[in-house]
Chains A and B, each alone.
Chain A
Amino acid sequence: MTSQAAQASPDTRDETPATASGRSIGSLVRRPETGALIGTVGVFIFFAIFGGKDFVTPGGASSWLNVAGELGIIAIPVGLLMISGELDLSVGSVVAASSMVLAIVSGFWGAPVIVGIALALALGAAVGLINGVIVTRTRVPSFIVTLATQFALAGLTLGFSRLLTSNVSVAIDAGEWGHLLLGQLIGHQFEVAIFWWAIVVVVVGWIVHVAKFGNWIFAIGGDLESARAAGIPTNRVKVALYIGTGLGAALVGVMETILYNSAQVAKGQSFVFNSIIAVVIGGVLLTGGYGSVFGIVLGTLTFSIVNQGIYYTGWNADWASLILGVLLLAAVLMNNTFRKMALSYSPSAPKAKKGRG
């Protein structure tokens, strides 16, 4: 299956010449992130108008980019899992647990920071492994499995934190290089998490949309039985994706801990639903088989802009969740519309042409 590579022409662009006509509309409508892009641009313009001058300054941008950076690192792997047809609700507890592991090991016990970071990431990977193995072995819906690990891990984190430190928050100083790599504010405004997010986007984007592994994820989410029949190691792929979310959540836990020089047992619970909202706004189909990394990025940005933009409008910030709720529903409806258009689109049927929004 690799030998065909040689005879393919070397260029990476993949225009099929026969379809040059109508291709631009077709390819735009067909992209899972078209709706998400409209959403992101829409909320940005909205808050640029109502948020006043401060919203469009670097300071304003940093406020939502910082939220997006941390959320994005979790939302990307959660989105991949969703494309493969599974959910992960345990990311909140992984953030808290990894955060406490780092703070206890390197702050409370005084071990080298690198050891604490390694153990925190290992914990994330281990939780992902456990989630993945339980989901693929027992066939219990992942909603239940990861809800269970979410609660179990929260309990473990609280229990061990009290047991070992008699406290629910532990201070830590990660030292100079620790802050430099994982917890600095660039220009006193932009969290370094934004750059880690960018790296995650590029690497995962490649794996999903350019390498062949991505095809497996879409196939598994599209039809698990057919994917298995086609020879894809479906269980191993799912376990790998769960390890991905565990690692993503652990990385965010580590970065928050280093940035704020402390860890709390109740940290990070908001990531559970925020990541799902970002992914769904980003055009990923909740039942699997459809979505894109770029869409998840846009969904994350949309979420973060609304989440932070409200503070610039001078309105009561209590309404932010209302806006997010409405936005979520609107985004899903719009994404459904675009998906239908993508399905019905064909060069000979120009009725799909009427782009909406």
Chain B
Amino acid sequence: MATTQAAPSTATPLLRLTDISMSFGSTQVLTDVSLEVNRGEVLCLLGDNGAGKSTLIKIMSGVYQPKSGTIEVDGKPVVFRSPRDTAAHGIATVHQFGGTFPLMTIGRSFFVGAEPEKGFWPLRRFDRRYANETAVREMRQLGITRVTDGDRLVGGLSGGERQALAIGRAVYFGASILILDEPTAALGVKEAAHVLRIVMGARAKGIAVVFITHQVTHALTVGDHFAVLIRGAKAADFRKGEKTREEITDLMAGGEAMAELEAELEAYENAHEGHVPQIG
């Protein structure tokens, strides 16, 4: 569709998933899920536990290959065979607890796999000073001022600081698509607000953000575009302002009660057909 270079970047979604299906053995986990995210836009992927969010994240970050469906980055079809593949396409995934190396220093974990060096072979040295300064600076740019020492261990940071470190790392290494897996789930109100501000900052830089969460309030604060997953299928897809908080919460809650789910869903879908969307 948008294979021509002439297409403006706003027209071509930076990341587009079309009819992604996934199953493990006989268990169908995802059914024909289609999503798209544009540059400078936050797509909130909502869903309760077991809705298939994690599987979808793993497909977007190259851990799993979908059974069917296509993935396009900037209009070009791609196949991710490993997390390294996705990184090469500018996709970075940040997990719930941010820094994944709790016992490494901030500077060292920031540069894992891309260590800065100084000196001459064979005595090339890991440039700890540069690594520490860069990591601390990048965190400071995201509003984390309490961390001044890059030699501190990542495990000693608060949840919000770890998220900032991980997001800062992704942005520093040139990620254009940021997948955030429940970044606010383990955080207090204040820290969550800070992380949301960081997400807004990334969006302002033109990064496409996929924000996975089950906290509707957080999603509504930063999201431009919303998709609700229920039992592996996309149950709703709407833009900012098209649904109220209550409606979304009810939608998601529908995923819990299996029996009521279908009916409830249909009821909501029907309720909105032909109606002017309520501005919440």
Taking the closest CB of chain A, its distance from the CB of B122, in whole angstroms, is 9
Let me know if B130 is at the binding interface, CB within 8 A: yes
Let me know if A339 is at the binding interface, CB within 8 A: yes
Query: Please, which residues of chain B bring their CB within 8 A of the CB of A231?
Result: 84, 87, 113-114
Give the CA-CA distance A212 to B61 in the complex, in Å: 26
Taking the closest CB of chain A, its distance from the CB of B14, in whole angstroms, is 20
| A1-19 contact mask (Cβ, 8 Å, vs B): 1 or 0 | 1101101111010101011
* Pairwise interchain contact A230-B152, C-beta atoms closer than 8 A: no
Minimum CB distance partner of A291 in chain B? B103
Give the CA-CA distance A145 to B124 in the complex, in Å: 34
Q: When the two chains form the complex, which single residue of A4, A10, A12, A219 contacts B112, counting CB atoms closer than 8 Å?
A: A219
Query: Please, which residues of chain B bring their CB within 8 A of the CB of A214?
Result: 126
* Pairwise interchain contact B100-A223, C-beta atoms closer than 8 A: yes
* Pairwise interchain contact B108-A218, C-beta atoms closer than 8 A: yes
Query: Please, which residues of chain A bring their CB within 8 A of the CB of B101?
Result: 218-219, 222-223, 226, 289
Let me know if A348 is at the binding interface, CB within 8 A: yes
Give the CA-CA distance A347 to B157 in the complex, in Å: 12
Query: Please, which residues of chain B bring their CB within 8 A of the CB of A205?
Result: none
* Pairwise interchain contact B130-A16, C-beta atoms closer than 8 A: no
Query: Please, which residues of chain A bring their CB within 8 A of the CB of B87?
Result: 229-231
Give the CA-CA distance A23 to B125 in the complex, in Å: 23
Query: Please, which residues of chain A bring their CB within 8 A of the CB of B36?
Result: none
Q: List the count of A-B residue pairs having beta carbons below 8 Å apart.
A: 136
* Pairwise interchain contact B156-A19, C-beta atoms closer than 8 A: no
Query: Please, which residues of chain B bring their CB within 8 A of the CB of A43?
Result: none
Query: Please, which residues of chain A bring their CB within 8 A of the CB of B116?
Result: 1-2, 4-5, 8
* Pairwise interchain contact B112-A30, C-beta atoms closer than 8 A: no
Query: Please, which residues of chain B bring their CB within 8 A of the CB of A212?
Result: 115, 117, 124, 126
Let me know if A211 is at the binding interface, CB within 8 A: yes
Residues of A within 8 Å of B, CB-based: how many? 46
Contact A27-B151, Cβ < 8 Å, known A1-B114, A1-B116, A226-B100: yes
Give the CA-CA distance A215 to B108 in the complex, in Å: 7
Let me know if B239 is at the binding interface, CB within 8 A: no
* Pairwise interchain contact B103-A285, C-beta atoms closer than 8 A: yes
Query: Please, which residues of chain B bring their CB within 8 A of the CB of A2?
Result: 116-117
Let me know if A270 is at the binding interface, CB within 8 A: no
Q: When the two chains form the complex, which single residue of B104, B119, B128 contacts A14, counting CB atoms closer than 8 Å?
A: B128
Give the CA-CA distance A226 to B61 in the complex, in Å: 12
| A216-251 contact mask (Cβ, 8 Å, vs B): 1 or 0 | 101100110111111110000000000000000000
Taking the closest CB of chain A, its distance from the CB of B216, in whole angstroms, is 29
Interfacial residues of chain B within 54-73, with CB under 8 A of chain A in the complex: 61, 63
| Of B44-52, B142-150, B245-253, the one with at least 4 CB within 8 A of chain A | B142-150
Query: Please, which residues of chain B bring their CB within 8 A of the CB of A211?
Result: 124-126
Taking the closest CB of chain B, its distance from the CB of A12, in whole angstroms, is 7
| B89-110 contact mask (Cβ, 8 Å, vs A): 1 or 0 | 0000100000011111000110
Let me know if A343 is at the binding interface, CB within 8 A: yes
Subset of 28 A-B contacts with CB under 8 Å = A1-B114, A4-B116, A8-B116, A8-B118, A8-B130, A10-B118, A14-B128, A16-B136, A16-B150, A19-B148, A19-B151, A26-B152, A211-B125, A212-B117, A214-B126, A215-B108, A215-B115, A218-B101, A218-B108, A219-B113, A222-B103, A223-B100, A225-B63, A225-B83, A226-B100, A227-B113, A232-B112, A345-B152
Shortest 3 CB-CB contacts between residues of A and residues of B = A230-B113, A229-B83, A222-B101
